[in-house]
Amino acid sequence: MFKEISRNKAFGGYIVKYEHASEQLSCTMKVNVFLPKEADQAKVPAIYYLSGLSCNEDNFIQKAGALAEAAKHGLALIAPDTSPRGVSIEGDSDHWDFGTGAGFYVDATEEKWAKHYRMYSYIVKELPGLIHEAFPIDPSRISVMGHSMGGHGALQIFIKNPTMFKSVSAFSPVCNPIHCPWGVKAFSNYLGSNQDTWKEYDTVELLKRHPDVHLDVLIDVGTSDQFLERELNIENLKDVIKELGRENEWNIRYQEGYDHSYFFVASFIADHIAHHAKALKA
């Protein structure tokens, strides 16, 4: 099932890179799993982390400083890749913001992409099934978080699967992808021209469609984020939250002077891990 690629001891536990054959994506995928020392004795809670455009399974693990925080709370971390790899579709590596490294956590419906680009089902269905069978992780205590494209993934996945995850948070999420260049590019290619289908993967639109889903969301975004105005659409999210009277479910923090980088993520990762730990240990 999982083939171990590398193993390093860290903060009393182990960070291990695995590869496996994915049925959903029809290719070989890699994933990093951090297990704290508590996993030697019992099943532990876990956080799934979804990375952003051009990232792979390593960026978060190596740059965010999350291992120390997860170890502090006795939490596992699962960091998957952001797209299928090595599938050789014409045009899948022509742009940094589409194709390889940019699966956008959707299930593609357009014929060219539909066989391999099924990142939504990979994250929601296939990967958890494999992980929870292979490792000492409690499937009743998992959460999801992400950054940028991965923040979009975490939010829309949580809203559509509220009984699967205990909590959600995001750094610099793409909140309204049907109205930003990144999202339009990805959705039009993966999902075709039917924008009703696009709305099934858009946080702003999903909030309107799922009024009964209870949320406790932490979002951080930097005021100097180079993508703040053009791509993230945080204000669109805030508008619909206010319109629906759900302000008490969202803690959206603007962090002065911070940008879109992993320096920003590392600066506030402790708050996000603590946010999830509170829910996972409740």
Told to judge if 196 belongs to the known catalytic residues of this protein, a careful annotator would answer no
| 66-73 and 262-280 helices, crossing angle to 10° | 10
Q: 88-91: long-range contacts at Cβ-Cβ below 8 A with a sequence spacing of 24 or more?
A: 89/113, 89/116
Residues ≥6 apart with Cβ < 8 Å to 122: 22, 24, 25, 29, 80
Is the Cβ–Cβ distance between 247 and 282 less than 8 Å?
Answer: no
Told to judge if 260 belongs to the known catalytic residues of this protein, a careful annotator would answer yes
Q: Given 225, 272, 275, 276, which residue is catalytic? A: 225
Instruction: Give the integer Cα–Cα distance in Å for 227 and 70.
Output: 28
Residues ≥6 apart with Cβ < 8 Å to 115: 26
Q: Given 260, 272, 275, 276, which residue is catalytic? A: 260
Q: Which residues pair with 4 in a beta bridge?
A: 18
Instruction: Give the integer Cα–Cα distance in Å for 22 and 10.
Output: 28
Provide the phi-psi class of 204: left if phi over 0, else alpha when psi is between -120 and 50, else beta. alpha
Told to judge if 138 belongs to the known catalytic residues of this protein, a careful annotator would answer no
Q: Given 83, 143, 148, 167, which residue is catalytic? A: 148
Instruction: Give the integer Cα–Cα distance in Å for 147 and 221.
Output: 10
Q: 230, 231, 268: which is closest to 252 by C-alpha? A: 268
Q: Enumerate the active-site residues.
A: 148, 225, 260
